[in-house]
Amino acid sequence: MKRFLCLLSLMVFIVLAGVGCGNNREQSGTAAEPVPLNISVAASFQDAAEELKAIYTKDNPNVTITNNFASSGTLQKQIEEGAPADLFISAGKSQMDALAEKGLIIEESRKDLVGNDLVLIAGKDSSLTGFDELTGDKVGKISIGAPESVPAGKYAQEALTNMGLWDALQPKMVLAKDVRQVLTYVETGNVDAGLVYRSDALIGKNIKELATAPEDSHKPIVYPMAIIKDTKNQAATEAFVNFLSSQEASQVFTKYGFKTLEN
């Protein structure tokens, strides 16, 4: 009888162990299931976004992040037309507002991620010193992003208007498709000056920062983010959003010249 009970106990143990191993394999398989995330990101956020992607995917190897960089206005239109996107990080409030009005974002996921400053830049050998010289003979061309689709361009238009320079600078104005194109124009000497975010100026080559636009000359610069309502990976997107709100991500933002916000 004792031998029978021992054999019975052993059989029960083997069955339970097998069930446990099966569950563990199932859980491991679920955890390792590949998850693709498509992030629509404002062009001015490119360098920070790529570093954040590298950090996150190293710790979460089952997640594949594809960053789609363009002007915020272009990204807005792409999302409206059904382009695949799980998360939108805009450089302007109006583009996010437009998507919200059409019911294309998860409202409760919306959050202002970081801030920035608007700065005047010129080539490293330029003799320019500030905004008051833009209307003079030293400047033949000045570039900003197209105000209707590029938030940095809209802020630049507001700032130049409030400084009384907008009308006088119209003959010299070269409009760019995004703020990174403005930076390129200045770097290559195709224009004499440009208005970009401080985060862009920090990574620029052969340029120098001349002046910061007064904060009261334009609306506050914030980068809102929100999860797209049609996402097929909401839980994974929420996890990435939580990472973007972490102290580790904040250090990356600061490194690239963005301003952290109190939320």
pTM: 0.80
Domain with CATH 3.40.190.10 in the chain: 36-115+222-260, 118-217
Mean pLDDT of all residues in 35-59:
96
Q: What is the Cα 17 distance to its own chain's centre? A: 48
Mean pLDDT of all residues in 218-222:
95
pLDDT at 21 over 90: no
What are 178-197's pLDDT values in tens digits? Answer: 999 999 999 999 999 999 99
Find the largest Cα–Cα distance for the chain.
108
- 90 neighbors 44 (Cβ within 8 angstroms): no
What are 119-159's pLDDT values in tens digits? Answer: 999 999 999 999 999 999 999 999 999 999 999 999 999 99
pLDDT at 89 over 90: yes
Percent of the chain surpassing pLDDT 70? 87
- 152 neighbors 176 (Cβ within 8 angstroms): no
- 152 neighbors 197 (Cβ within 8 angstroms): yes
Q: What is the dihedral of CA 11, 13, 18, 21, to 10 degrees?
A: -170
Q: The tokens of 252 are what?
A: 């990356």
> What CATH code is assigned to 36-115+222-260?
3.40.190.10
123 contact partners, CB below 8 Å, separation of at least 6: 186, 187, 189, 192, 206, 207, 208
Q: Count CA atoms closer than 13 A to 76's CA, side-chain side.
A: 23
CA-closest candidate to residue 179, choices 72, 254, 79? 72
Q: In what order do the strands lie in the sheet with 118-123?
A: 173-176, 142-145, 193-197, 118-123, 207-212
CA-closest candidate to residue 92, choices 37, 158, 187? 158
pLDDT at 32: 61
What are 194-212's pLDDT values in tens digits? Answer: 999 999 999 999 999 999 9
Q: Count CA atoms closer than 13 A to 239's CA, side-chain side.
A: 15
**Domain 118-217: what homologous superfamily?**
Periplasmic binding protein-like II (3.40.190.10)
pLDDT at 15 over 50: no
